[in-house]
Chain A
Amino acid sequence: MERAFFAYVWQHSRKEQVIVLLLVALSLPTYWLSLDLPKQIVNDAIQGKAFAAGVEEIVALRWTIQLPAFLGGQTLAVFEGVTANQVQYLYLLSFAFLFFTLVNGGFKYFINIRKGVLGERLLRRLRFDLFSRVMRFKPEALRTTKSAEISSMIKDEVEPIGGFFGDSFITPVFLATQALTALLFIFMQDFLLGFLTACILAVQALIIPRLRREQLRLGRLRQLESRKLAGRVSEMVDSATLFRNHGVIPFYAAEIGDRLGLLFRIRFDLYRRKFSVKYLNNLLAQVTPFLFYTLGGYLALNGKLDIGQLVAVIAAYRDLPTPVKELIDWDQQRADAIVKFEQVIKAFSRDLLPEETPREEVQAVLTDGKGPIRLSGLRYIDRRGTLLLDQLTTTIDRPVHLALVGPPSSGSLVLPKVLGGQVSDFTGGIWIGDRMLGPLTEPTTSHISYQGSDPAILSGTIRENIVLGARRGTAPPNNALRSLDEHEQREAIRTGNPGYSAAQDWFDYGRLGIDGPAQLDMLVVEALKVVGGFDSVFLAGLRGPVGDNVEPDMCVRLVDARMALQDRLESLGLAPLVEVFEASRYNSLATIRENLLFGSPVGPRFSEENLVRDPYVRSVLSAESLAEPLVLIGLKIAETVLDVMASIRPGSALLDRYAAFDLSDPEALQRDCEEIRLRGFSAASHGARQNLTRLAMNYVEPKHRLGLIDEAFRARLLRARISFRMFLSTAAQGSISFYDRGSVIPAMSIEDNLLFGRIGTHIAGACERLEATLQTILEESGLDRFVVQQGLGREVGPGGRLLTPEQRATIALARSILVKPDILVLDQAFSAFTPRDAAQIRQNILRNSSGRTLIVTLGDDEPLDGFERALVFEGPRVVADKRLPETEQGGGLKDNQAAE
């Protein structure tokens, strides 16, 4: 594995490593000079050795080259040098020292930069390699892989390896040469000192790695355990509601506690090891100067060593521990990185990957749409050894609408998975045309589309999820939109990353039969209509907030449509069904809160929860002497509700109408009521007053009918509305968008923006009649497309968690329909729907896929309408192969419609 690691590094960074090594070699002479100069400064310039014999001036910085004997042995002067007296000489040498120190620093700078860049490049390559590998995992391997562990490996675990890439060759060479240079230098000054230094170094180099072995073992353990922790935590986060339902959170919390405890113990041991090694290291490093001072000082005093030499030795030694220590660190990192590399590579091993098939080949065969699917001796045994599919040999001529009929757990549910590339460890052969697929070929084509019962939905918008399959399988050819500049592209390619960006337009409009992006939404709508998902998307668009990023001209159109709707309602005599927001009137169908704010809160400040606690709101309310009436309204609501609540069991559908009031803690509410009754409004606590005011804020007279709002109250509230708006600080303006007939309110839905009022739901049939009119207005103003766009732009949440199972299934089906695959395999893809809806959608899809192949699983009792052929399974075998009457007439669109 160690070889594998260095081979990987060398293979992908050879050139750069060599460059940096050359830089290291170049830096050595200056390093030597920076060590040698201090000696000269002390001995020759300060102590004046060079000027000893009464010499006034010497030639300094003379640089000569002694030619070897065979070239004549002459001395050639490269630089003749300058003459200088002692002070000048001192300056000269000092500045030379400064110069070489700077050059030395410069070398270090360049080497470090190159090294870092090299490491980052390799890291980028490694991460991309790993990611590409996971994407190609066999389906079986993918099912047993914990995604959090994979992402923890790709993100965190390779990070330290990346840091080490740059160091793997350069650092040992760089540091070792530096250390050797320094050591050599010390040797040249005094053999004894050099020898002692070498001994201490040897101790460091031999003992410390041994001590670190245990440290490595612990490190490896820590890595494995952390990875498991990441996997478990993500699994538990996904199942948090499940645990809550069963009340078993403490058990799982205890498990995490155990894991954290284990990690703590490992880390604790690790720390002890680490710092004891460090202690030893420091000790050895400090012993050497001690030797230099005592021994070196003794030698100097006895005249066996001059002071300059001693100073130089000490200076050289000062540089020595660092490289040596770093070298030892490097050794540790090496072991560490290799362990990590080994473990990561093992997790991404080749056994998990299928053989590669060139993608173009498969596509070429499929695109003609005609070659029959031939199955021969297909057999599948699952991991538990159950025979699920046995000796299936048949030819499926294309195009065909084929039903796979059978009870659950029969072969009818396995064949689609085999065809759709969901299992790869089957035996036998599948040919499409004359091209063999499987058992271990890579399923790489968009021409076979598989849809199972558990659709994968990515976070993002509904639209993004539906158009997912409409992208090309290869990089888009359109270079004009290329978003990587040349430099970025070069960088990407040299690290094995794709040389093109995801920001380009990847859609294959040609394959979809459209001209460009404008028509894509139309196709999405068509596909949604086929799978019966259009209405829900439309409603989501209509009822979802308009949002802030609406273009100004769209705002104008929305306001126009609002006016048009009001005029229309007027002319149809439907105006009384809606009570429009008017600044000067109390809207009886809206809550007291809405009437007060006369706007939609943006952010938390004026939210339902915080409103009554807000000091500004409170001051406005007391200024209009509304504080007490509101508490009394709340008191009445609470009394009424508590009164009946006592007689019904919790969780009953009764009192659903009072869901707007927070009744989760009846006892607390009871206490608040008593407090107000006993002590009166003014003496009651803030808490009690606020709780009751909060209840009152949601009160709507025609809905709750407690007879609590009179003319005087309305007038006061209108005054409060005015002062609320008038005295609102500039800082708080962003926390609310006020109702204004002439502008769009971003926090409100399109529907509410158009109605600009509240519906009198107590008037029979109001909603239905308004809906119809609203629909007409939307169509007339062309805003229906905007509504659809808004609906398609809704976020689905991670894994589609914001959607219902039906919506997820609908989106997944629309995704498959959109690309019009040559072969569409639907494997229990309707299980999220009611049987009636499922049948309806199935018929729509059958009608939509005429001329293309459709393979659908059906239960035993489901009708075969619209199918041309049915394979009936019992257990793992086919027991009947029915040709249905439509087949003879070609089974096209017309026939299927006739069958309807």
Chain B
Amino acid sequence: MSIDDEVSQLQRSPIFANVERSRLKLLALNAESALFSAGDAIIQMGGPPDAIYVVLTGKVGIPNGDIEIGHLVGLVGGLLRRPHAVSVHAQTAVHALRLPISVFMELMEHCPQTALAVMRELARRLNDAMRVALAVEVTS
């Protein structure tokens, strides 16, 4: 996949849909591509938060929620700079973009649009988590 294809793929994702093409290109240019086979751990629980992965194709098993293109793996650990709290495995062959933490942080600084997209994603996850928590409360 060339950079241009990767950018097009990212544009199809809900997270990055509203980000300008040139900003996405900056993201892709700074990432390495990473290929996982089915069953490979993308991040490992307790592992060091050295990079954030943006899924381009393939299925990733996450505790709850939908698997989407543009899903960010390792985001929470990376932002907090804490060992990962969960493991995430590739369920099919996965093609992702790997952004080392330092590069990711720089990107956030340089590019408010991308930062906003990431914030929106975090808010969505928080929202999901709260809804789950509420549901648990209601049922109990």
Residues of chain A touching chain B, judged by Cβ–Cβ distance below 8 Å, are: 640-641, 643-644, 647-649, 652-658, 702-707, 761-765
Contact = CB atoms under 8 A, between A and B. Distances in A.
Contacts of B4: 707
Contacts of B139: none
Contact of B33 (A640, A643, A652, A705): A705
Contact of A707 (B2, B28, B106): B2
20 contacts: A640-B25, A641-B29, A647-B22, A648-B26, A652-B106, A653-B103, A654-B107, A655-B30, A702-B33, A704-B3, A705-B2, A705-B33, A706-B2, A707-B5, A761-B32, A762-B33, A762-B35, A763-B35, A764-B35, A765-B40
Which of B29, B34, B36, B110 has the most A CB atoms < 10 Å from its CB?
Answer: B29
Given A647-B110, A705-B1, A762-B33, 7 more contacts: A644-B29, A647-B26, A653-B103, A654-B106, A658-B29, A705-B33, A707-B5
Contacts of A641: 29
A649 B4 CA distance: 23
A824 B58 CA distance: 59
B102 A703 contact: no
Interface string B105-140: 011001000000000000000000000000000000
Nearest to B95: A762
Given A652-B110, A654-B106, A706 B3 contact: yes
Contacts of A656: 30, 103
A808 B25 CA distance: 43
A656 B101 CA distance: 13
B34 A764 contact: yes
Interface string B17-50: 0000010011011101111110010100000000
Nearest to B6: A705
Given A647-B26, A706-B3, A653 B33 contact: no
A705 B34 contact: no
B2 A640 contact: no
A644 B5 CA distance: 17
A643 B21 CA distance: 12
B32 A703 contact: yes
Contacts, number: 66
Tier of interface size on chain B? 20 to 34
Given A705-B3, A706-B3, A707-B3, A654 B32 contact: no
A873 B101 CA distance: 44
A655 B42 contact: no
B40 A654 contact: no
Nearest to A701: B2
- Secondary structure of the A contact surface, majority rule: loop
Contacts of A657: 29-30, 32
A714 to B, nearest CB: 16
Contacts of A652: 106, 110
B28 to A, nearest CB: 8
Nearest to B110: A648
Nearest to A762: B33
A639 to B, nearest CB: 12
A762 B110 contact: no
A762 B6 CA distance: 14
A657 B99 CA distance: 11
Nearest to A703: B32
A648 B109 CA distance: 10
Nearest to B104: A653
Nearest to A658: B29
Contacts of A658: 29
Contacts of B28: 705
A764 B103 CA distance: 19
A763 B35 CA distance: 5
B110 A654 contact: yes
Contact of A640 (B5, B29, B40, B42): B29
A14 B32 CA distance: 80
Given A706-B2, A764-B40, A653 B22 contact: no
A286 B28 CA distance: 90
B38 to A, nearest CB: 12
Contact of A643 (B2, B22, B110): B22
A764 B34 CA distance: 6
Contacts of B34: 762-764
B26 A654 contact: yes
A480 B93 CA distance: 69
A306 B134 CA distance: 140
B32 A762 contact: yes
A704 B29 CA distance: 7
A653 B29 CA distance: 12
9 cross-chain pairs, A with B, having the tightest CB-CB distances, nearest first? A707-B2, A764-B36, A762-B33, A653-B102, A705-B3, A644-B26, A763-B35, A653-B106, A705-B2
B59 to A, nearest CB: 15
A703 B1 CA distance: 11
A764 B88 CA distance: 13
Given A644-B25, A648-B110, A703-B32, A764 B42 contact: yes
A654 B102 CA distance: 9
Nearest to B30: A654
Contacts of B33: 702, 705, 762
Interface string B58-96: 000000000000000000000000000000000000000
A644 B27 CA distance: 10
A762 B4 CA distance: 18
Contacts of A648: 26, 106, 110
Contacts of A707: 2-5
A576 to B, nearest CB: 10
Contacts of A702: 33
A764 B42 CA distance: 8
A640 B1 CA distance: 16
A763 B36 CA distance: 6
A703 B40 CA distance: 21
Contacts of A649: 110
Contacts of A706: 2-3
A705 B31 CA distance: 10
Contacts of B110: 647-649, 652, 654
A642 B103 CA distance: 18
Contacts of B36: 764
Contacts of B3: 640, 704-707
A652 B37 CA distance: 33
A652 B110 CA distance: 10
A300 to B, nearest CB: 102
Contacts of A644: 22, 25-26, 29
Contacts of A763: 34-35
B42 to A, nearest CB: 7
A647 B26 CA distance: 9
A653 to B, nearest CB: 5
A138 B84 CA distance: 56
Which of A640, A652, A705, A763 has the most B CB atoms < 10 Å from its CB?
Answer: A705
Nearest to B96: A764
B23 to A, nearest CB: 9
A518 to B, nearest CB: 41
Contacts of B30: 654-657
A340 B37 CA distance: 78
A653 B32 CA distance: 14
A658 B30 CA distance: 8
A899 B32 CA distance: 46
A271 B76 CA distance: 78
B102 to A, nearest CB: 5
A653 B109 CA distance: 11
A268 B136 CA distance: 97
A796 to B, nearest CB: 30
A168 to B, nearest CB: 70
A763 B26 CA distance: 22
A652 B42 CA distance: 27
A763 B32 CA distance: 10
B95 to A, nearest CB: 9
Nearest to A644: B26
Nearest to B109: A652
Contacts of B5: 707
A641 B30 CA distance: 11
